[in-house]
Amino acid sequence: MATKILTEHINVPGIETFDVYRKQGGYTAVEKAIKTMTPEAIVEEVKKAGVRGRGGAGFPMGMKWSFLAKPEGVPRYLVCNADESEPGTFKDHYLMKNLPHLLIEGMIISSFALGANKSFIYVRGELMYVIHILEKAIAEATAKGFLGKNILGSGYDLELIVQPGGGAYICGEETALLESLEGKRGNPRNKPPFPAVKGLYQSPTVVNNVESIATTAWIVNNGGDAYAAVGIGRSTGTKLISASGHINKPGVYEIELGVPVEDFIYADEWCGGIRPGHKFKALVAGGSSVPILPAHLALTLANGEKRLMSYESLSDGGFATGTMLGSGGFILFDETSCIVRNTWNFSRFYHHESCGQCSPCREGTGWMEKVLHRIEHGHGHQQDIDLLVDVAKKIEGNTICPLGDAAAWPVASAIRHFRDEFQWHIDHPTEATQPGAVYRGEMALV
Amino acid sequence: MEDVKPQLLKVTIDGIEVEVEPGTTILQAARKIGPAVAPPAMCYYQPLKGSGGKCRACLVRVAAGSAKDPRPMPKLVASCLTAVQDGMIVENETSPQVIDARNGIVEFLLLNHPLDCPVCDQAGECDLQNFAFDHGKATTRYEEDRRTFEKKDIGPYIQLHMTRCILCYRCVYTADQITEKRVHGVMNRGDASEISTYIEKAIDNDFSGNVIDVCPVGALTDKTYRFKNRVWFTKPVDAHRNCPTCSGNVTLWYRGDEVIRVTARKNEWSEITEFICNTCRFETKKTSDWTIEGPTKISRSSVISANKYRADTIKPSFGQRLAAADYKQIHDERDTSQLSIQQLPAERFAKVLPSAMEPEP
């Protein structure tokens, strides 16, 4: 049985209530942290654990914490980024809905470690019922003395606030989230200064993903070294993967990092294989913003080794043959999927969600979407494929925030790996627009 | 007590070294050297706090971060926001990557910007026009429908021509920082964003006219001047008056004996030096209202100065040099004698090109 760090007790009935959660060993980490550990010791454990940010970027959490500026007389803030809205990613939603107390426990420990007396959970506005669950859980924890003034008689105060977001994808970007939290339009800020120096209300702030914060309870209880022992190489611990697409068992799975991609797809414990009678065509491994991979590259590295579910293995070979683990939005496509239509769909999303602040993203995302729309609907020109590659290249790396890259990568990678299919759409405009029309030419299906 | 002078930082931009104070941005350092290496800026505006970083026109490559840490920065950086460090080496026009990125930015900015320069009041003093001239291509690859808007009157003096707007946010910052009661901002998201006033309200305060001057394109136009004249037919003259509201230092734009427009004075980077009030700008348009100081200094390369104060014509700028470098003779294998067309002798090109390739003094 694989190690479960976050979802061990998820199937216990009533785990969303304080009493059941407490009976399963909940809040012991808070007691241990506040009563027996110093904030520095907690940061040290998290550093030892080597847990990397689970929101997508994969930046080591302990290192992020140690960057936090600590000026005198200025409050520090911890903000939990629960604005999960990447297409194909739904693990934070699942975690908050089922285990609200796990997140709150993590928030208390993390806030204590960072010296924050006011912390925020910024939840996507559409998830109103999750907000109610969290608020109920916070009220329970406050009544039991784990939140509020003088937690467990230690003299440490913490106010935890749940803030519904406006429902914009860009508000998941950490600086746009802070702008939104301050009540402004959710436009990303220019960096530097980074939030660790000037974040919320111009004060030092740490922004972490739900899943990252939720791991701290286990780390405090079991130690950083125990966490680092799980996983593979620099990808330590477990990761929640939201699996969807043409697989037999879609859902959220907690895996130890380092599981082979092939096992994850075909094992009964996880996805349970491709739906019967179909073949594996393409994979988006970490949410819609990461480059798409054709089946053969998704399962093996360029050198023939098995590809693993880890930060390093998935990004092996750069974008030529690799992708990213990202937020763990695992979407699998079988041979009935049209890559052009799918890319257009992703592009439509990024066009709609671009904040419009900087010119490459504002104009470029719309341009790519319109060209893809044309190709998909049988009005593509031969030069359009190279045009898309060039526009994606002009956006990538030239924008204020990573949304420009997120919009460019799916398009660039789809053309890199499935150029034939785009070509087929251009060569067969009437055929390609028929319902269910998919290019089945020379393609390595697995 | 002796003043402790801050230690100066050395920065090299396109091979030219300059010493600047700590906290200076790359753009400011480049401007200190001069127009030859100063990156273009569409949204950055020195007098306005918080401006910059949006248009991405001023992207540069940092080839070495500092003397201590000489690693290059992984991505191109916005020079208007990046502070210099001692020993930094910056590549502006010497980096093909930067030129490529800027070509892209011009293309993006022009996607939805109409090329109505022949009827636009800003023609001749338009930042985007200059930027496109230096870095753009003659054709576009965009064939989709363009974004269009109705013209809007915002206040008695200003017309908003949203179709031309490139969303640099300068007017928003101006209204926010130099006038009271901010009533306009950016609405909507992505390429549907637009500058708009708060529910059909007008911008009515004494300094509202300055939003016209800060607009880099012709999106905000002066209703008292619209369609009166082309800027290169006018004659700018510095003048001042005793104004109770503002400094009263302005530029008068003459056509013959008539003052057809009044604007604030701008510096070399077409940034306002002192913001002026609406009375000076819109209501005092007689020579008798003003004390004339003399002709306005206009950059030699500006279209405004063409054939006006000097006999010499415009020097070929970077754009022309780039075009000359790109020039390829059309390979035509046909026998021209059969076509009775005389091919241009090669010496003619040799005469044109070397002079165009000469660096600017």
Question: DSSP secondary structure string, B159-215?
Answer: EE-GGG-----HHHHHHHHTSSS--EEEESSGGG-EEEEGGG----STTTTHHHHH-
- What is the Cα–Cα distance from A188 to A87, expressed in whole angstroms? 20
pLDDT for residue B44 is more than 70: yes
Higher pLDDT, A237 or B203: A237
Does B111 contact A at CB distance below 8 Å?
Answer: yes
pLDDT at B332: 60
H or E segment to which residue B58 belongs: none
The interface predicted TM-score (ipTM) is 0.91
A192 plus A323 within the same structural domain: no
Q: What CA–CA distance (Å, rounded) separates B269 from A425?
A: 48
Residue B336 has pLDDT above 60, yes or no: no
Closest residue in B to A391 (Cα) is B104
Contacts of B104 in chain A (CB under 8 A): 360, 391, 393-395, 398
- Domain with residue A358: its CATH number is 1.20.1440.230
Three-point CA angle A302, A303, A306, nearest 5°: 85
Q: Identify whether residues A209 and A291 lie together within a single domain.
A: no
pLDDT above 90 for A2: no
Looking at residue B357, its pLDDT comes to: 47
Burial class (CB in 10 A: 0-12, 13-18, 19+), A13: exposed
pLDDT of residue B341: 47
Chain B residues within 8 A of A363 when measuring between CB atoms: 108-109, 111-112, 191
pLDDT the model gives residue A299? 94
pLDDT reading at A84 higher than 70 = yes
Domain end (from A193, A208, A229): A229
Kindly state whether residues A183 and A317 are assigned to the same domain. Answer: no
Reported confidence tier of residue B76, pLDDT bands at 50, 70, 90 = very high
Total CB pairs under 8 A between chain A and B: 95
d(CA A238, CA B202): 57
DSSP H helices, B193-316, are 210-214, 278
Cβ contact B277:B180 at 8 Å: no
Q: Is B273 left (phi over 0), alpha (psi -120 to 50) or beta?
A: alpha
Token pair belonging to A233: 């190489």
pLDDT in tens, A364-391: 999 999 999 999 999 999 999 999 999 9
**Is residue B325 over pLDDT 90?**
no
Contacts 24+ apart (CB under 8 A), B291-298: B291/B239, B291/B240, B291/B241, B292/B237, B292/B238, B292/B239, B292/B252, B293/B237, B293/B238, B293/B239, B293/B240, B294/B237, B294/B238, B295/B235, B295/B236, B295/B237, B295/B238, B296/B236, B296/B237, B296/B238, B296/B251, B296/B265, B298/B236
Contacts of B167 in chain A (CB under 8 A): 356-357, 359, 362
Q: What confidence score (pLDDT) does residue B347 get? A: 57
CA–CA separation, A298 vs A286, rounded Å?
12
pLDDT of residue B344: 53
Statement to judge: residues A280 and A345 lie in one domain? no
Least confident of A287-291, A315-319, B336-340: B336-340
Residues A272 and A354 in one domain: no
Q: How far apart are CA A104 and CA A118, in angstroms?
A: 13
Q: Is the pLDDT of residue A141 over 90?
A: yes
Average pLDDT over every residue of B168-172 = 91
Helix (H, G, I), strand (E, B) or coil at A243: strand
Kind and range of the H or E run holding A81: strand A77-82
Chain B residues inside the 8 Å CB shell of A168: 189
What sign results for the dihedral spanned by CA atoms A130, A135, A136, A138?
A: positive
Q: What is the mean pLDDT of residues B310-326?
A: 63
pLDDT for res A168: 92
Find the angle CA(A381)-CA(A385)-CA(A388) to the nearest 5 degrees.
115
What pLDDT is stored for residue B136 in this prediction? 86
* Residues A105, A53 within the same domain: yes
Given a contact cutoff of 8 angstroms between Cβ atoms, the answer to whether A306 and A260 are in contact is: yes
What CATH number is given to the structural domain containing A32? 3.40.50.11540
Q: Are A50 and A60 in contact (CB under 8 A)?
A: yes
The whole-angstrom separation of Cα A360 and Cα B233 is 35
Q: Are residues A309 and A397 both part of a single domain?
A: no
The answer to whether A289 faces chain B, any CB pair under 8 Å, is no
Please check whether residue B115 is in contact with residue B126, taking contact to mean a CB–CB distance below 8 angstroms. no
Residue B340 has pLDDT above 70, yes or no: no
Choose the closest CB to B109 out of A185, A359, A370.
Answer: A359
DSSP for A346-402, please give it.
HHHHHHHH--S-SHHHHHHHHHHHHHHHHHHTT---TTHHHHHHHHHHHHTT-SSST
> Greatest CA span in chain A, whole angstroms?
73
My answer on whether A263 and A287 are in the same domain is yes
Mean pLDDT of B105-125: 92
Of all residues in chain A, the one with the smallest CA distance to B141 is A387
Asked if the structure places residue A1 within a domain, the reply is no
Other C-beta atoms lying within 10 Å of the C-beta of residue B341: 10
Residue B272 burial (CB count, 10 A): 20
Phi, psi of B323 (to 5 degrees): -60, -40
Same domain, A329 and A345: no
Confidence (pLDDT) at A6: 93
Q: Diameter of chain B by CA atoms?
A: 87
Number of domains in chain A: 3
Q: What is the model's pLDDT at position B356?
A: 46
Within 190-219 of B, beta carbons closer than 8 Å to A belong to 190-193
Q: Are A358 and B55 in contact (CB under 8 A)?
A: yes
CB A149 within 8 A of CB A191: no
Q: How confident is the model at residue B3 (pLDDT cuts 50, 70, 90)?
A: low
pLDDT at B334: 58
Going by the DSSP 8-state scheme, the letter that residue B229 receives in this structure is -
What is the distance of C-alpha B114 from the center of its chain? 17
Residue among A170, A356, A363 minimizing CB distance to B111: A363
The H-or-E segment that residue A108 falls in is helix A100-114
Across the range A389-407, mean pLDDT stands at: 94
Backbone φ and ψ for A169, nearest 5 degrees, come out as: -60, -40
Q: How far is B56 from chain A (nearest CA, A)?
A: 7
- Please say whether the beta carbons of B245 and B199 come within 8 A: no
As a whole number, mean pLDDT of residues A16-43 equals 94
What's residue A372's pLDDT?
A: 96
Least confident of A123-137, B51-65, B307-321: B307-321
Chain B: closest CA distance from residue A188 (Å): 10
Chain centroid to Cα B87, Å, comes to: 29
Read off the pLDDT of each residue in B278-290 and give the average, rounded to a whole number: 92
Indicate the class that CATH gives domain B112-222.
Answer: alpha beta
E strands present in A199-319: 205-209, 231-232, 235-236, 238-245, 251-256, 280-284, 293-294
For residues A258 and A231, the answer to whether their CB atoms sit within 8 Å is yes
- Would residue A220 count as lying in a domain? yes
B292 vs B238: CA distance, rounded Å: 6
Of A180, A212, A229, the one marking the end of a domain is: A229
- How far apart, in whole angstroms, are the C-alpha atoms of residue A376 and residue B305? 51
Report the residue of chain A nearest B110, measured CA to CA. A363
Mean of pLDDT values over B327-355? 56
Which pTM value belongs to this model?
0.87
pLDDT at residue number B281:
93
Beta bridge partners of A443: none
Token pair 């928030």 is at which residue?
Answer: A107
The CA distance from A402 to the nearest CA of chain B, in Å, is 12
Question: Do residues A214 and A358 both lie within one domain?
Answer: no
**Alpha-carbon gap, residue B246 to B244, rounded angstroms:** 6
- Final residue before a domain boundary, out of A177, A206, A229: A229
- CA angle in degrees (0–180, nearest 5) for B153-B156-B158: 55
Q: Which residues 6+ apart lie within 8 Å of A193 measured at CB? A: none
8 A C-beta contact, residue A26 and residue A105: yes
What average pLDDT does this structure show over A296-303? 92
Instruction: Work out the percent of chain B whose per-residue pLDDT is above 90.
Output: 52
Q: Is residue A9 part of a domain?
A: no
pLDDT at B96 over 90: yes
User: Whole-number mean pLDDT of chain B?
Assistant: 84
Residue type present at position A415: I
Domain range for A416 is 339-433
CB of A45 within 8 Å of a chain B CB? The answer is no
Residue at A12 is within a domain: no
Assess whether pLDDT exceeds 50 at residue B148.
Answer: yes
H-helix or E-strand spanning residue B317: none
- What is the per-residue pLDDT across B182-214, written as a single tens digit (0 to 9) for each? 778 888 888 889 888 776 667 778 888 999 999
Domain containing residue A247: CATH number: 3.10.20.600
Chain B residues in contact with A370 (beta carbon < 8 A) = 144
* Distance (Å, whole) CA B72 – CA B91: 11
Which residue, among A196, A207, A203, A206, has the nearest Cα to A72 in the 3D structure?
A: A203
Q: How confident is the model at residue A434 (pLDDT cuts 50, 70, 90)?
A: confident
CB B232 within 8 A of CB B177: no
Contact B55 A358 (CB under 8 A): yes
Burial B309-337 (b: 16+ CB within 10 A, else e): eeeeeeebebeebbebeeeeeeeeeeeee
What is the Cα–Cα distance from A131 to A97, expressed in whole angstroms?
9
| B204-260 pLDDT per residue, tens | 788 889 999 999 999 999 999 998 888 888 889 999 999 999 999 999 999 888 999
- The conformation of residue B231, written as its DSSP 8-state character, comes to G
Determine the CATH number of domain B9-104: 3.10.20.740
Q: For residues A19 and A142, what is the distance between their CA atoms, to the nearest angstrom?
A: 13
Same domain (yes/no): A251, A307: yes
A446 falls within a domain: no
For residue B198, give every residue at least 6 positions away whose Cβ sits within 8 Å of its Cβ, in sequence order, or none: B183, B184, B185
Q: Is B104's Cβ below 8 Å from some Cβ in A? A: yes
Pair A291, A310 in one domain:
yes
Q: Is B114 on the interface with A (CB under 8 A)?
A: no
Report the mean per-residue pLDDT for chain A. Answer: 93
